[in-house]
């Protein structure tokens, strides 16, 4: 099985080089891996002490960040090595100050894994949420490196829990400790004989709680809001936008901020053209009296969490498509109600918040418009839902401390 896995990995690497000729994202994926070992060898000496964190993409990085920050404080003499699998994580966070070296993770071949572990020689390794690479885990185990999964989330559909998943189950034995989000994940791991499992919760609750402690001021958003009820649609896709654009066009005395997931010029133009209200883009805001506008489109990245601080309620995108629900915890941390689409079953935080009442899932355009209308015009309804959302985030903090405490013991 290991032979077939390695053969498939090598073939995939070859295939990706061909696809890279026609796909920009895959091109970044392939080109970014060409210099990984040179970069590592330039920045890591044999005498250096290192700790390795690996995340698939940006979302997992955000999940692991509070643990990374704590580890850096506890081990100031160690170099932090951060790897990403996806360009969407690496390209945005390649200059983060939290790590000393940031690179792509080379494909999981036997040769790459051996070379990587030899060059980096980590004293500890942390994988975040979903990443399980058999060759890397095998080499870490051979090296005797304490290896941890943080904010792990297990599902019955995963290969580990299938009759044919023996090869992958064996790879999981490399983990020193599994820190999982919920009891269901713990029970699934125990069902395959893995008992080194702790329910730590989701580190994202700690991460988003830290947002409240920073300066979230955006003067241009404050000017735009102009003390009016404001809805923020964060990380929206066209399918999401089709559910609320007509509502925006027919609304009065309400402000709307849309921060699309995709900020390509042609998509922003299409979105703007679908809106009949007076609309301004972030890129066009200079010199304008923003209070006169009814819709603000954030055609930029990096400010959404601050924008949420001005929201009276938020719609979080992804729930009407198949790409996955985006982060609902950031707006919830500010104590505002959250509205999402129907495709949220893979997100335990959404299910739990819906059950508590701080998040509202709508299944179609009619339900969307009814819910948004209630949140605008019923102050008690809006305030109650927002209080529940904020409380939900507050009561679920502490995962980072539980993880660090377990590791130190």
Examine the fold and report which residue of 152, 175, 201 is the final residue of a domain before the chain moves on.
Answer: 201
* Virtual torsion, Cα 363, 366, 370, 375, nearest 10 deg: 50
Same-domain status, 169 and 238:
no
Task: Chunk the chain into consecutive blocks of 10 residues (it has 409) and report each block's average pLDDT, rounded to whole numbers.
Answer: 81 85 85 92 96 92 93 96 91 91 95 96 95 93 96 91 88 95 94 95 92 94 98 96 97 96 94 97 96 97 95 97 91 97 93 96 97 97 97 94 92
Same-domain status, 317 and 370:
yes
pLDDT at 21: 85
The CA distance from 20 to 341, in Å, is 33
> Does 409 reside within a domain?
no
For residue 205, the SS3 value is helix
> Does 404 reside within a domain?
no
Q: Which domain holds residue 380?
A: 215-395
Same-domain status, 25 and 174:
yes
> Does 334 reside within a domain?
yes
- How many separate domains does the chain show? 2
Same-domain status, 32 and 136:
yes
> Does 124 reside within a domain?
yes
Contact 116/40 with Cβ under 8 angstroms?
yes
The CA distance from 46 to 61, in Å, is 27
**CB within 8 Å of 284: residues ≥ 6 apart:** none
Same-domain status, 189 and 92:
yes
pTM given for the model: 0.83
Same-domain status, 307 and 378:
yes
pLDDT at 117: 97
Same-domain status, 163 and 256:
no
pLDDT at 382: 97
Same-domain status, 180 and 225:
no
**CB within 8 Å of 150: residues ≥ 6 apart:** 63, 64, 67, 126, 127, 128, 129, 179, 200, 203, 403
**CB within 8 Å of 336: residues ≥ 6 apart:** 308, 311, 312, 313, 314, 386, 389, 390
Same-domain status, 173 and 319:
no
Same-domain status, 269 and 186:
no
Q: Which of 112, 127, 41, 45 is nearest to 78 (CA)?
A: 45
Residues labelled catalytic: 60
Same-domain status, 119 and 232:
no
Distance of alpha carbon 294 from the chain centroid: 30
Contact 77/107 with Cβ under 8 angstroms?
no
**What are the contacts of 304-308 at 24+ separation with CB within 8 A?**
304/234, 304/235, 304/259, 304/330, 305/211, 305/216, 305/330, 306/216, 306/217, 306/218, 306/221, 307/218, 307/221, 307/232, 307/234, 307/257, 307/259, 308/232, 308/234, 308/333, 308/334, 308/336
Examine the fold and report which residue of 201, 225, 258 is the final residue of a domain before the chain moves on.
Answer: 201
The CA distance from 241 to 258, in Å, is 9
The CA distance from 196 to 88, in Å, is 32
Alpha-carbon Rg of the chain, whole angstroms?
Answer: 23
The CA distance from 210 to 393, in Å, is 11
Query: How many beta carbons lie within 10 A of that of residue 165, not counting itself?
Result: 15
Q: How many CA atoms lie within 13 A of 98 on its CB side?
A: 17
pLDDT at 26: 85
> Does 38 reside within a domain?
yes
- The CATH number of residue 100's host domain is 3.40.50.11720
Same-domain status, 25 and 126:
yes
> Does 2 reside within a domain?
no
> Does 174 reside within a domain?
yes
Contact 161/139 with Cβ under 8 angstroms?
no
Examine the fold and report which residue of 163, 178, 201 is the final residue of a domain before the chain moves on.
Answer: 201
Q: E strand or H helix at 312, and its extent?
A: none
pLDDT at 3: 76
> Does 14 reside within a domain?
no
Exposed / middle / buried, residue 47 (Cβ in 10 Å: 0-12, 13-18, 19+): exposed
The pair phi, psi for residue 143, each rounded to 5°, is -80, -10
């Amino acid at each position: 099985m290991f032979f077939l896995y390695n053969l498939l990995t090598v073939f995939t690497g070859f295939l990706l080089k061909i696809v890279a000729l026609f796909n920009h994202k895959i091109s970044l994926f392939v080109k970014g891996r060409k210099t990984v070992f040179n970069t590592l060898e330039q920045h890591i000496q044999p005498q250096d002490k290192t700790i390795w964190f690996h995340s698939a993409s940006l979302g997992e990085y955000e999940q692991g960040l509070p643990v990374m920050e704590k580890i850096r404080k506890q081990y100031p003499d160690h170099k932090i090595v951060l790897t990403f699998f996806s360009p969407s994580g690496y390209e945005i966070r390649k200059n983060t100050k939290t790590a000393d070296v940031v690179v792509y993770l080379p494909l999981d071949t036997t040769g790459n894994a051996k070379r990587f572990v030899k060059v980096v020689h980590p004293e500890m390794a942390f994988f975040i949420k979903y990443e399980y690479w058999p060759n890397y885990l095998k080499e870490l185990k051979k090296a005797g490196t304490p290896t941890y999964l943080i904010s792990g989330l297990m599902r019955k559909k995963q290969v580990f829990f299938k009759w044919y998943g023996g090869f992958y189950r064996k790879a999981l034995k490399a983990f020193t400790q599994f820190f999982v989000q919920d009891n269901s994940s713990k029970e699934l791991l125990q069902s395959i004989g893995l008992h080194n499992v702790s329910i730590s919760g989701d580190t994202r609750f700690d991460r988003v709680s830290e947002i409240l402690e920073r300066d979230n001021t955006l003067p241009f958003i404050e000017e735009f809001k102009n003390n009016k009820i404001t809805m923020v649609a964060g990380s929206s896709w066209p399918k999401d936008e089709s559910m609320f654009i007509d509502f925006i066009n027919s609304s009065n005395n309400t402000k709307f901020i849309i921060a699309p997931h995709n900020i390509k010029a042609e998509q922003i133009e299409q979105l703007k053209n679908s809106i009949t209200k007076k609309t301004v883009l972030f890129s066009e805001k200079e010199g304008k009296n923003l209070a006169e506008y009814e819709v603000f489109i954030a055609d930029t990245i990096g400010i959404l969490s601050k924008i949420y601080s001005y929201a009276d309620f938020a719609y979080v995108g992804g729930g009407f498509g198949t790409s996955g629900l985006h982060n609902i915890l950031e707006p919830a941390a500010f104590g505002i109600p959250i509205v999402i689409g129907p495709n949220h079953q893979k997100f335990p935080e959404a299910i739990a918040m819906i059950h508590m009442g701080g998040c509202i899932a709508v299944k179609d355009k009619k339900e969307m418009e009814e819910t948004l209308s209630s949140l605008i015009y019923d102050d008690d309804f809006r305030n109650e839902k927002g209080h529940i959302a904020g409380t939900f985030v507050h009561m679920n903090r502490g995962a980072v401390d539980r993880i660090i405490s377990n590791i130190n013991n």
